[in-house]
Amino acid sequence: MEQTHSTAIADTVWTNVNLITGELADQGLVTAKNQSVVVKDGRIMAIFDQSSGAALPQAERIIDGEGGWLSPGLIDCHTHLVFAGNRADEFEQRLEGVPYETIAKQGGGILSTVIATRSASEEALLKLALPRLDALIAEGVTTVEIKSGYGLTLNDELKILRVAKQLANHRPINISTTLLAAHAVPPEFKGKADQYIDLVCNEIIPQAAEQQLADAVDVFCEGIGFSPAQSEKVMQAAKACGLGVKAHVEQLSNLSGAALTAKYQGWSADHLEYLDEAGVKALAESNTAAVLLPGAFYFLREQQLPPIDLLRKYQVPMALATDFNPGTSPLASIRLMMNMGCTLFRMTPSEVIAAVTANGAKALKMEESRGIIKEGMAADMVLWDIQHLAELAYQFGPQVIKQRMVNGQITGSGAHV
C-alpha cells in the first residue's frame, strides 16, 4: 500500500481517495471522487482531481487509498474527560426512579465526582484519562475538547486543565481546553453561589488565561447550576481575559441561556433540549454553533428533543459530541453519538458527519484550520474502510479505520493507534 521516494518535496500524497470534505451543502455532504491530497509540514498543500491528469509532486510517502473514503479527522467538541471515580451507584439509583436533579441536590451528582477528583494527583488523573481518550482515538477522533469542572477550586481546576493539555504529549491528538469552574457550587460555598462566582471571575478565569491553560470558558446555566445573571458574569470575565465563551444551556429547562451565550458571541451553546425559536434565532445571528449531546439525552432518558427542525431552518451549524462524563454520558464513542444523532434526533447521516467535522471545528473556533479537507488546513484525516457514507452513522463497534493522520503524521490504523 505504501511506496517511498527519496527526492521529496511533499511529505505524503494520498492517491485514489474519495473525499468527504466535511462541508454540508443543500444537497448534502460535499464529496469529490478520485482525488489526490498532498500533505506537507502538517498541512494540506494541494488537492488534485485525478481525472485532470496533473502530475503529482514527489513525496516521502505515497498512500494508495484504493478508492476508499477520506474524511477530516473527527472532532469531539464537548467532553469532561479528566475526572476520578465513577457514578455507577447513582446510575442504579436513577434506574430505581430517583431523578438526576434530586441526586444533585442531595450532594451527589457533580459534587461526588468533585470529591474524588480533588483527591487525585495529576499522574492519577492522566492515567484515568488515557484509556478514555484511546477509545475516541480508535474511532478516528483527531481533536478533543476537554473541560475542567470537577475541581471547583483554583488549584484543582488548573490541575485538571494541565492534565488535559498533557494528554497531547502522550497521544497523537489535538486538545482544546475549556475552563468550567462554574459547573456547580462547591460544598464550601453552599448557599453562597454569588461569592463563588466572584472567585471564578476574579481569580480562576484570569489565572487560567494567564497560564494559557484554557482556550475557552464554559458555564452550567441551569436551575441546579448557575442563574442567567451569574452566567453572564462568567461570560463577561471570559471575554475580558480574551477567552472563548461556551455554555451548557437549556438542558433541563429554558432559562434563555442560548440567547445569553449569543450575546457574548459564544463559540457554542450546548445541550439545547429546551431551546425555543427565539434562542435559535439568536444563535443564528451570532454564528454560535449548536452542540447536541445525544449521549446525555439518552442516558438521562430525557423526553424533550432539541429543536432540530428550527436549527435547520435558521441554518445554525449543528455539532455532535460525546459529553463524556461520569454522571450523564459515560459513553466514550463519537460513532455512537453519530448513530444516536440519526436515531434519536432524526438528523441525516450527512448532517451527523458534518456535525463531527466542519461543525465540530466551528464549536471550537477552529474552522479556519481544522474540520474540512481543503488546501491550507491542518492535515487531520481518516481513511475509512466503507462503501457508503451512511456506514459511519449506521454501525459502531467494529473499527473501519484504515489510516489516521494527525497534523500530517500517520498514526496507525484500526484500534492500534
For the chain, how far is it from start to end, CA to CA, in angstroms? 18
- Please identify, using beta-carbon distances, which residue of 21 and 176 lies nearer to ligand NIG: 176
**Least distance in Å: CB of 293 to ligand NIG?**
7
Instruction: Tell me whether residue 416 is annotated as binding.
Output: no
Residues forming contacts to ligand NIG in the complex (CB under 6 A) are 109-110, 113, 220, 248, 251, 296, 323, 325-328
Instruction: Tell me whether residue 150 is annotated as binding.
Output: yes
Residues 6+ apart with CB under 8 A from 27: none
**Least distance in Å: CB of 121 to ligand NIG?**
20
- Please identify, using beta-carbon distances, which residue of 68 and 279 lies nearer to Fe ion: 279
- Is 273 a binder of Fe ion (CB under 5 A)? no
327 binds, among Fe ion, ligand NIG, none (CB under 5 to 8 A by kind): ligand NIG
Query: Residue 98 to residues 58, 67, 88, 101, 301: CA-CA distances in angstroms?
Result: 63, 51, 14, 9, 12
- Please identify, using beta-carbon distances, which residue of 30 and 82 lies nearer to ligand NIG: 82
- Cα 48 from chain centroid? 30
- Is 323 a binder of Fe ion (CB under 5 A)? yes
Give me 386's grid cell.
466503507
Instruction: Tell me whether residue 170 is annotated as binding.
Output: no
Which burial class, exposed, middle or buried, applies to 280 when counting CB atoms under 10 A from its CB (0-12, 13-18, 19+)?
buried
* Neighbour-count burial for 36-54, b at 16+ CB within 10 Å, e otherwise: bbbbbeebbbbbbeeeeee
110 binds, among Fe ion, ligand NIG, none (CB under 5 to 8 A by kind): ligand NIG
**Least distance in Å: CB of 318 to ligand NIG?**
17
Instruction: Tell me whether residue 5 is annotated as binding.
Output: no
**Least distance in Å: CB of 329 to Fe ion?**
7
Residue pair 74/140 in contact (Cβ under 8 Å)? The answer is yes
The site that binds Fe ion (CB under 5 A) totals a number of residues, namely 1
Instruction: Tell me whether residue 271 is annotated as binding.
Output: no
* Neighbour-count burial for 348-357, b at 16+ CB within 10 Å, e otherwise: bbbbbbbbbb
Which sign does the torsion angle of CA 125, 112, 77, 206 carry? negative
**Least distance in Å: CB of 220 to Fe ion?**
8
Instruction: Tell me whether residue 323 is annotated as binding.
Output: yes
At residue 127, what are phi and psi to the nearest 5 degrees? Answer: -65, -35
Residues that bind Fe ion (CB under 5 A): 323
Q: Would you list which residues are annotated within the binding site for Zn(2+)?
A: 78, 80, 248, 323
